[in-house]
Amino acid sequence: MNALRLGRLWSLLASALPLAAASMNEMDHGAFVSWTIRGEGQPVTYKGIAVRLGAVAAICFDSELLRVSAAWSGGFLKWYPERDGLERNPTIQGRIHFRNAAAPGWSTSGSFADPRSESQGPLPESAGRYRGLFVHGESVVLAYTVGGCEVLESPGLAEIGAERFFVRALNLGKTPERLTVRLLAVPGRAARLQGNRSGLAQGVLQVKSEEETRFIGFKGLPPGAEWKILEGHLCLSLPPLTEPARLQIFLGDEPGIQVREMETRLRAHLQREAEPKDLAALCRGGPARWGELIATQARPGREDYGLAVDTLTVPRQNPWKSWLRFGGLDFLSPDRALLGSVSGDVWLVSGLENASGELRWKRFATGLYQPLGVKIVKGQIFVLGRDQVTRLHDLNGDDEADHYENFNNEALVGENFHSFMLNLETDSRGNFYFAQGAPWPPEIQTRHQGLLFQLSPDGRSLRPFADGLRGPNGLVIGPDDRMIYTDNEGHWLPTCSVQWVREGGFHGMKPTAHLHPDIPPDFEKPICWIPHDIDNSPGSPVWIQSPRWGPLDGRLLLTSYGKANLSILSVENVGGVLQGGTVRLPMRFASGLIRARMNPHDQHLYVCGMSVWQTAGVEPGGFYRVRYTGRPLHTLLESRVRPNGIELLFSDPLDPKEAGDPQNYSIEQWNYRWIARYGSPHYSVKNPDVEGHDAVPVEAARLSGDGRALFLQTPALQPVMQMKIAWNIRAADGTPIRQEFYQTINAAPKP
């Protein structure tokens, strides 16, 4: 059965099967999984890469410390149900065979002391640096440096009778330094080597302590290699290398058979084993692992309104039980997009040019750590995960990633689930921007939480750009590099907000990392606040930049994860102070919305999202196309604060009689408090210690000659955190217009 026929079969199954409760434990995650990983009695591996070794075993590689933190058999990883697998980090499932202490896995000096000042983040580049990994079938090749030495490593498993040996296959480049690698912690006292084979290229030795005996096999060691027990760990010290070296190390467990018999079997296995492989041969692109194309259908939306929403059906049912919950989106070509799923995948979808035709989905990459940002730059694919920015390479043109390059992994990771890495955008100079959320409940875990980062175009320089962020789920960089992000209500965030970002700005969340010696006494005033019941979790803003969008051209739209809808975001500049407000559009989506991008080719808006917790969305993941139809929108487009009122601009002419009646409008206002509690009550402007709203009288309503500009006259306006303006009127064509606009006034113009 060819791939397309199989895809159509899966399409039929997807439409016929009921939606089941998906599970991270049921999902085939691929050859590896990147996550924060902990085992029983095991220090946490903040940036762990769990590599499958067949169906029965796995190892965890620490990409910061360049160590194998643990090896185990009997399972893989166990995810937990809280917040659909996102609140608790997965744990090792099975029996741990060995572990290594939370310290560097290699040394050029013989000391394994941690050189990092805070025991967080990657090692100094002079000590070593993770470069990325390659996937070739079921094999994973890790690439990193130790000092100036290039290292390729491929974990493996050898089964010798009933005994399992974890294999570290290493390819080392030339180096003038003596390198020492930690292999495993030896439990118990009186650790010693028996049958020390230092100086031999191939052989067997025993590692003994009061608690256990282990067998170690080796093959391909260079002359001058030495076995040592250092700080309670079995180590292999390698001499300076004038030529590249290839070697294998077999790490056994307490044998279940007689010692002599185990030694005989291990020697025989080493004798039969081929010479250590050239791992570079596995770094050129391997066979496709996810070859099946899955066909779904684009379902066009109704065109009786100014905007139509096409549902781009997601392959919820797929052979790998991949749980598709989208949080990243960008376009490879006019017809193809890449979407990142918080479950760890990146998928490629083609067929976007077919308005109501077949879509073809392809699993492109797996094993990423909550990819919530995707950006295509000159054809190169960048994905933001919680552990790093990854540059994905398809080395052989089969529409699958073979090389997962570490573009930058300097941002620190804590264990708290709420410290998501979010967004991935670029400015006109090619700098990347992304943000890290703050923990919930609020606590200081790293010096990077709550920051907006700037990353240089070459990935070499990461620096904080702004601070005081809590849940910065949306970011857009528009004309003239104007930068706007959205934040979520919580501690020190009285309600949701839309923020303009300037370098060095503090945005209100106190228990976060800070760019300032002291926490500022005040914070950057948002463009607007959004009441919690109107939007409890805004997503990405998006600038509409296309004449094909009629009255929306040049304006900002705002996605909502919490309410699964779109709003218009009005922004005005009063004497250098930005302010504005939001008004909902009459559209609902089946999933909460996270990301939005204009397709530069067809000029349509594409949005994607998920439904995990606290959202009106019901579908686990969704992908949609929003098109301007040319029909009336019947909506507010923008507002302008005047000394004695508000000027409102509408998309279409209003009925003069209804628009001119002040009784058809109501205005109320209130303030919030910047306090440590989660959110803030609403406080009267006139009586600041009293909870409640103040009514603002509408003294007159005047409509412009073209019927689109409406002025609501009020008493003199003063700065206020929240103003609600509601109207129940009709358009000139008789269409009812009933809307609410939520405005923030940071600066009132003088008469």
Confidence bin at 489 (pLDDT 50/70/90): very high
- Convert 330-363 to b/e letters by CB count within 10 Å (16 or more is b): bbbeebbbbbbbbbbbbbbbbbbeeeeebbbbbb
Q: Distance (Å, rounded) from C-alpha 505 to C-alpha 415? A: 26
Rounded to the nearest integer, the mean pLDDT of the chain is 94
Tens of pLDDT, residues 562-586: 999 999 999 999 999 999 999 999 9
- The predicted structure's pLDDT at residue 466: 97
**In the block, residue with structure tokens 């996102």:** 86
- Convert 694-723 to b/e letters by CB count within 10 Å (16 or more is b): bebebeebebbeebbbbbbebeebebbbbb
Confidence bin at 524 (pLDDT 50/70/90): very high
Q: Distance (Å, rounded) from C-alpha 246 to C-alpha 251? A: 17
- Convert 284-299 to b/e letters by CB count within 10 Å (16 or more is b): ebbebbbebbbbbbbe
Widest distance between CA atoms in the chain: 101
| pLDDT score of 286 more than 80 | yes
Tens of pLDDT, residues 167-210: 999 999 999 999 999 999 999 888 899 986 778 999 999 999 98
Tens of pLDDT, residues 211-231: 889 999 999 999 999 999 999
| pLDDT score of 298 more than 60 | yes
Confidence bin at 254 (pLDDT 50/70/90): confident
Q: Which helix (H) or strand (E) holds 700?
A: strand 700-703
Q: Distance (Å, rounded) from C-alpha 210 to C-alpha 229? A: 14
Mean pLDDT across the stretch 486-492? 96
Provide the edge-to-edge strand list for the sheet that holds 462-466.
Answer: 421-426, 432-436, 452-455, 462-466
Confidence bin at 512 (pLDDT 50/70/90): confident
- The predicted structure's pLDDT at residue 195: 82
Least confident of 148-162, 192-206, 263-277, 396-410: 192-206
Confidence bin at 7 (pLDDT 50/70/90): very low
Tens of pLDDT, residues 59-91: 999 999 999 999 999 999 999 999 888 999 999
- The predicted structure's pLDDT at residue 16: 35
- The predicted structure's pLDDT at residue 12: 38
Number of helices followed by number of strands (H, E) in the chain: 3, 52
| pLDDT score of 648 more than 50 | yes
| pLDDT score of 13 more than 60 | no
| pLDDT score of 19 more than 70 | no
Percent of residues, the chain, with pLDDT higher than 90: 86
Domains defined along the chain, listed by start:
103-282 (no CATH), 636-745 (2.60.40.1220)
Identify the burial level of 137 via C-beta atoms within 10 angstroms of its C-beta, where 0-12 means exposed, 13-18 middle and 19 or more buried. Answer: exposed
Confidence bin at 513 (pLDDT 50/70/90): confident
- The predicted structure's pLDDT at residue 118: 85
Sequence-ordered strand ranges (E) for 535-656? 538-543, 556-560, 566-574, 577-584, 592-598, 605-610, 621-628, 636-642, 645-650
- The predicted structure's pLDDT at residue 389: 99
Mean pLDDT across the stretch 99-111? 96
Residue 674 is encoded by which pair of tokens?
């910047």
Mean pLDDT across the stretch 294-322? 96
